[in-house]
Amino acid sequence: MLKRVPAMLLALLLATGLAWAQAEDPPPVAADSEETLSVEESEIAIDTAVSPGDGMIAPSNIVVSDWPNDAGDALLVTFDPGSETGNDNFIGYTIYRRVQGTEEFEMVGFVELDEGTSFTDGYDPDFIVEPGVQYEYMVAATYFSGAEVSSEATAAQEVAIGQLYHSGKTRVLLGCVVFLGLILFYFYAAQRGVEMYLRPIAGIEAIDEAIGRATEMGKPILYVPGLSTISDVATIASITILGRVAKKVAEYGTPLLVPNRDPIVYTIAEETVKQGYMEAGRPDAFDKDSVFFLTQSQFAFVAGVNGIMMREKPATNFYLGMFWAESLILAETGSLSGAIQIAGTDAVTQLPFFITTCDYTLIGEELYAASAYLGREPKQLGSIKGQDACKGIIMAIITLGLLLSLTDLIAGTETLVWLKNIITMPVVD
């Protein structure tokens, strides 16, 4: 094998060299281009002291309107431009504002010439717009030399008012209503005793098997509930699964290790594990030191957990919750220690690492579904069916869109324009 290495390297270099030789040469660079640029730059530098010309006219027709869908903290100022927009020294418009009845104007913003003739007042935290306050505005055409040609002071036609409904979120509201309706429908269907089929998920079915393996080997189980806080839904889903795992572990009498990164998650995890032991009828078997806080520092936490893996050699590792860059370091170390590993996260960027290094991976939504699968409570199952129904609706819309797009492409029609307009309209935050 070693003898082949130089030959392989040579072949690689040869292929690279051939490809390099075949590559087109870059087009020649014009020799005088740099010189031309420098001449232009010097001309601009000389011109900077020029004052406004004779034909200067101040901006006019200032119109102030309330910014829609906000907390009453922004106003939109529009105006007609001055007449010297072709002058190189004319750089833009300075916006001045004062509360009506006061003397002094203050500068609240600057609009460069290529940014149009409108300005949103209130975005700058140094110059906040108070709701219900009557302002006056003045716009000054501004030159590079600092000279300004100001408009008349104009009282704002509208005052800033906060809205009670965000009209840009109507589609989100409709989606929520449909989703909520479907979830509640399946909740009640499950309560009435309607039989619901759930497709088997290998990762969830392997949880019991993994606990059993650790019990047989007489080694502990390591459960990492992610590195995020309790406000992350993935952490809550993980804590729910931890409750089920703790109950099983208590029944089998297997040691459990739960290191935590977040102190609030630690307190909840401790209570959850304790409850699991109580449900299993073995509260005395609960070891307070089995659930512990390690550190809030991301890589220090990883170092701590990796140390536990290498020293304690757990037979089963669970990584369920939210993970970031540390996911691969954790899972690869676990893999090297010979443990069976079950991971689950909704972090799309970390999923490939878990899939590569773990025996089973709960992908995205499967993490949220796991507690329902394990508990088999009717309402929990109902929520999963509700999710599936929503996904069915989305799939139907995508399929319809695909068919209509193909029809448009073949027939040269535009049946999808209205749908495209709805979808591409941004949801304003």
Partner 1 sequence: MKRTVPLAIVMVGGILFMIQYFIPHQYSQTLFNYYTEWAPIVGAFALVLGVGSLTRLHSHKIKRKAKNWQYSYAVLIPLFGIPFFALIMPQNLGGGMMESMGGDRLTQGVFDFAYMNIQVPIQATMFSLLAFYIASAAFRAFRAKSALATVLLFSAIIVMLGQVPIGELLGKWFPKVGLWILRYPNLGAKRAIGLGVGFGVLATQLKIIFGVERNWLGGAGE
CB of 412 to partner 1, least distance (A): 24
Cβ-contact 146, 105 below 8 angstroms:
no
Q: Strand 154-155 relative to strand 291-293: parallel, antiparallel, unpaired?
A: unpaired
Phi, psi of 73 (to 5 degrees): -125, 20
Q: Are the C-beta atoms of 275 and 291 separated by less than 8 Å?
A: no
User: Which C-beta is closer to partner 1: that of 107 or that of 184?
Assistant: 184
Q: How far is the CB of 410 from partner 1 (least distance, A)?
A: 20
Shortest Å distance, C-beta 228 to partner 1? 12
Closest distance to partner 1 from the beta carbon of 243 (Å):
5
Cβ at position 210, least distance to partner 1 in Å = 20
Beta carbon of residue 413, minimum distance to partner 1 (angstroms, whole number)? 24
How far, rounded to the nearest angstrom, does the alpha carbon of residue 208 sit from its chain's CA centroid?
33
Q: Tell the residue number behind the tokens 């590792």, with chain if given.
A: 317
* Distance, CA of 203 to CA of 320 (rounded, Å): 11
Shortest approach of partner 1 to residue 83 CB, angstroms?
Answer: 39
Of 206 and 303, which CB lies nearer to partner 1 in the complex structure?
Answer: 303
Question: Position of tokens 């070693």?
Answer: 2
**Minimum distance, C-beta of residue 372 to partner 1, in the bound complex (Å):** 9
C-beta of 153 vs 328, nearer to partner 1: 328
Q: Residue type for 226, please? A: G
Contact in structure between 285 and 250 (CB atoms under 8 Å): yes
Tokens for 75?
């106003």
When the beta carbons of 164 and 411 are compared against partner 1, the nearer one is 164
Nearer to partner 1, 10 or 176 (CB): 176
Q: Which is nearer to partner 1, 295 or 405 (by Cβ)?
A: 295
Q: Encoding tokens for residue 76?
A: 């939109």
Q: State the residue for tokens 């497709």.
A: 199
Residue 67 DSSP one-character state: P
DSSP at 288: G
Which tokens hold the place of 191? 């309560």
CA distance 369 to 386: 12
Give Cβ neighbours of residue 235 (< 8 Å, ≥ 6 apart): 225, 226, 228, 229, 262, 265, 321, 322
Indicate the residue among 328 and 419 with the shorter CB distance to partner 1. Answer: 328
Minimum CB distance to partner 1 smaller for 79 or for 187: 187
316: Cβ–Cβ under 8 A, 6 or more apart, which residues? 210, 211, 213, 214, 221, 222, 339, 340, 341, 342
